[in-house]
Amino acid sequence: MPTLGAIADDFTGATDLATMLVARGYRTVVAVGSDSIADESGRTAVDDADAVVIALKSRTAPVAEAVGSSLAALRALRAAGCRRFYFKYCSTFDSTAEGNIGPVADALLNAIGERRAVVVPSFPATGRTVYRGRLFVHDELLDESPMRHHPLTPMRDAHVGRLLTPQTTHPVRLVGLDTVRAGAAALSAALDDPSLADALVVVDATEDEDLRTISAATAHHPLVTGAAGLALGLTGPRPGAARVAAVSRPGDPAVVLSGSASSATRAQVAHGRAHLPHRKLDLAALRADFDAAVDDLVAFARSCWEQDPQRPPLLYAVGDLSDLDDSPAASALVERALAACAARLVAAGARRLLVAGGETSGAVVTALGVRTLTIGSPIAPGVTWARAQVTVPTQDDGHNANGRTEDGHLVDVALKSGNFGATDIFTEAWSALV
């Protein structure tokens, strides 16, 4: 029965945290939404796990919806046996003035009966560090990094306290690096100071060792909040927890679906365009006749498989920032299009999917009817292969809704956060599928 329960505000974040938990000795299952923990007969999919991560698509949802789905996740995790909780958000603190990090943290604290939680977005392995409460992305302050151009959550301040204060009813305080470096006992005492009793406490961390110290100092906190880095300091009951093997074989139909506009993804798209057959989504065509435009993308991908099964086609939305359309419906249209392509392509035989972008991954995995993801081989810090049981219709031609079955297939998926992964990940990730 699991003891650690995590709520991730997007899908790439969920596999990011899960891969860290597996490495720390937790057998971990990612459940897609709260309802995926148990099936219709009440049988739970997580009895054999030590940790469960519920993947939500709540990062940019309306505040009330994000709070509601996070509280439902907490209830599901408690019902599954979890006693300690981890609210996972983005290492670049992706949020708006309204939320959803603050409102969800407030609601979870209230439901758990606690008043204080740490706030730890630092993840040095991916270049995210927090010093004097300011969030850096590699050498740049968050608001000077490409995150200032994010289509959904443009980050225009690097001061975590200033970002969080308008989102929460709790006071926001900082515990600095000097206290962290004084060790776990000193940090624990600082966090227990009555002046922080009611606070969301941003804790500085610039190195992995700082995260281990924070983890040790908060081992008795029923709720911690942060990016996946904070899990570095956890120790699960099963050192050497197994990762699942690939279900597909080299040469099985594969596709890269990219809806991310992040700078790392744009470099990956440029590399992919140089080495893979590729098609950019045409927003005007999708608006004019959605089904016909998706048909076209699917037909292109299938023709690529026929020509060279070793080179996965790349379907992408953004090559350059000038591709971004700032009308409110554009991002939803792109998500819907890539989700439709994914469902049609799996129905047509795709067994290896690399998806770039957190919101995009949420749309794709949901469209595939995936209930749980089991962690497989790592690709890069924060990016992993995972095994998914999809329940899209099985159709020979990938077009016709007749003859649908709900048996499902096992598929290898990698959900790549926008800013994670090396430039050649779209061509190299496949070699990690073992």
Ligand X SMILES: Nc1ncnc2c1ncn2[C@@H]1O[C@H](COP(=O)(O)OP(=O)(O)O)[C@@H](O)[C@H]1O
Binding site for ligand LB5GJZVW (CB under 6 A): 10, 12-13, 16, 90-92, 227-228, 262, 357-358, 382, 417-419
φ, ψ of residue 312 to 5 degrees: the values are -65, 140
In the bound state, the residue with its beta carbon closest to ligand LB5GJZVW is: 358
- The residue among 11 and 305 lying less far from ligand LB5GJZVW, judged by its C-beta, is 11
Please report how close the Cβ of residue 331 comes to ligand X at its closest, in angstroms: 3
Q: What is the largest CA-CA distance in the chain?
A: 67
- The residue among 10 and 204 lying less far from ligand LB5GJZVW, judged by its C-beta, is 10
- The residue among 152 and 197 lying less far from ligand X, judged by its C-beta, is 152
Please report how close the Cβ of residue 89 comes to ligand X at its closest, in angstroms: 12
Smallest CA-to-CA distance from 65 within 22, 25, 98, 26 is with 98
In the bound state, the residue with its beta carbon closest to ligand X is: 418
The alpha carbon torsion through 397, 340, 246, 416 (nearest 10 deg) reads 150
By a kind-dependent CB cut-off of 5 to 8 A, residue 145 interacts, out of ligand X, ligand LB5GJZVW, none, with none
SS3 365: helix
CB 375 within 8 A of CB 28: yes
- The residue among 50 and 359 lying less far from ligand X, judged by its C-beta, is 359
By a kind-dependent CB cut-off of 5 to 8 A, residue 191 interacts, out of ligand LB5GJZVW, ligand X, none, with none
Question: β-strand 409-416 against 383-390: which pairing, if any?
Answer: antiparallel
Please report how close the Cβ of residue 291 comes to ligand X at its closest, in angstroms: 18
Smallest CA-to-CA distance from 170 within 126, 225, 217 is with 225
By a kind-dependent CB cut-off of 5 to 8 A, residue 91 interacts, out of ligand LB5GJZVW, ligand X, none, with ligand LB5GJZVW
- HSE (side-chain half, CA atoms, 13 Å) at 40: 0
- The residue among 376 and 418 lying less far from ligand LB5GJZVW, judged by its C-beta, is 418
Question: β-strand 278-280 against 254-258: which pairing, if any?
Answer: unpaired
The number of angstroms, rounded, from the C-alpha of 183 to the middle of its chain's C-alpha atoms is 30
By a kind-dependent CB cut-off of 5 to 8 A, residue 228 interacts, out of ligand X, ligand LB5GJZVW, none, with ligand LB5GJZVW
By a kind-dependent CB cut-off of 5 to 8 A, residue 324 interacts, out of ligand LB5GJZVW, ligand X, none, with ligand X
70 DSSP assignment? H
Tokens of 246: 């690939």
Please report how close the Cβ of residue 418 comes to ligand LB5GJZVW at its closest, in angstroms: 4
Please report how close the Cβ of residue 180 comes to ligand X at its closest, in angstroms: 29
Tokens of 10: 């997007």
- The residue among 93 and 430 lying less far from ligand LB5GJZVW, judged by its C-beta, is 93
Please report how close the Cβ of residue 62 comes to ligand LB5GJZVW at its closest, in angstroms: 18
Ordered DSSP codes for 186-240 = HHHHHHTSGGGTT-EEEE-B-SHHHHHHHHHHTTT-SEEEE-GGGGGG---S-TT
Please report how close the Cβ of residue 345 comes to ligand LB5GJZVW at its closest, in angstroms: 21
By a kind-dependent CB cut-off of 5 to 8 A, residue 335 interacts, out of ligand X, ligand LB5GJZVW, none, with ligand X
Cβ atoms within 10 Å of 204's Cβ, excluding its own? 23
By a kind-dependent CB cut-off of 5 to 8 A, residue 90 interacts, out of ligand LB5GJZVW, ligand X, none, with ligand LB5GJZVW
Distances (CA, A) of 285 to 239, 288, 289, 319, 363: 51, 5, 6, 17, 20
Please report how close the Cβ of residue 24 comes to ligand LB5GJZVW at its closest, in angstroms: 16
By a kind-dependent CB cut-off of 5 to 8 A, residue 382 interacts, out of ligand LB5GJZVW, ligand X, none, with ligand LB5GJZVW
CA distance 120 to 201: 8
CB 347 within 8 A of CB 390: no
- The residue among 344 and 416 lying less far from ligand LB5GJZVW, judged by its C-beta, is 416
Binding residues for ligand X, rule: CB under 6 A, are: 150-152, 259-262, 265, 283, 317-318, 323-325, 330-331, 334-335, 357-360, 417-418
Please report how close the Cβ of residue 311 comes to ligand X at its closest, in angstroms: 23
- The residue among 212 and 273 lying less far from ligand X, judged by its C-beta, is 273
Per DSSP, what are the bridge partners of residue 385? Answer: 414
Distances (CA, A) of 425 to 296, 321, 323, 378, 428: 25, 20, 22, 12, 5
Please report how close the Cβ of residue 354 comes to ligand X at its closest, in angstroms: 13
